[in-house]
């Protein structure tokens, strides 16, 4: 999903929550956007580049080539959610971050399902480690190489 769409979702979600939780709605809204920092991690690990322009080109290429692709976005995993849940037992703000992450992930999953690729992203690190051995592409280099052959 494009950053503009997530920014709109964050603003709408925060606005809807503001009457109930006040300023804390901003933490929720920021989390809806901040979860996608893991896309930069994925991009950097795959390309060793820190180019923001390259990041957007990378993800546009991936979105158009999801056949047989398996992504791992660590902030979109059950393990990350478990850490936030435990942190939320001690810090209320962590619960807001968790809710923002889950809201974002739900919307991502709806889009991936609409695209016919609901399993293009691993739901957990453990799942990724198992599924990557089954021949899924896990990098843009593999996707481009397969596309060009």
List, for residues 114-139, the tens digit of each pLDDT value: 999 999 999 999 999 999 999 899 98
Matching residue, tokens 């503009």: 4
Distance between CA atoms of 45 and 47, rounded to whole angstroms?
Answer: 6
Whole-number pLDDT of residue 143 = 84
Whole-number pLDDT of residue 65 = 87
Whole-number pLDDT of residue 128 = 96
Q: What is the DSSP letter of 109?
A: H
Whole-number pLDDT of residue 145 = 82
Residue 110 has which token pair? Answer: 């709806």
Whole-number pLDDT of residue 140 = 84
Whole-number pLDDT of residue 129 = 96
pLDDT < 70 regions, the chain? none
């Amino acid at each position: 999903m494009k950053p503009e769409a997530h920014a709109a979702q964050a603003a709408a979600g925060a606005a809807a929550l503001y009457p109930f939780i006040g300023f804390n709605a901003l933490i929720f809204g920021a989390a809806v956007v901040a979860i996608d920092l893991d896309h930069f991690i994925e991009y950097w690990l795959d390309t060793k580049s820190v180019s923001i322009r390259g990041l957007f080109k990378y993800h546009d290429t991936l979105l158009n080539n999801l056949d047989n692709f398996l992504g791992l976005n660590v902030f979109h995993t059950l393990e990350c959610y478990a850490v936030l849940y435990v942190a939320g037992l001690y810090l209320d703000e962590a619960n807001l971050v968790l809710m923002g992450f889950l809201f974002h992930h739900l919307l991502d999953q709806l889009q991936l399902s609409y695209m016919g690729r609901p399993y293009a992203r691993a739901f957990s690190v453990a799942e990724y480690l198992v599924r990557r051995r089954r021949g899924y592409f896990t990098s843009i280099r593999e996707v481009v190489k397969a596309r060009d052959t």
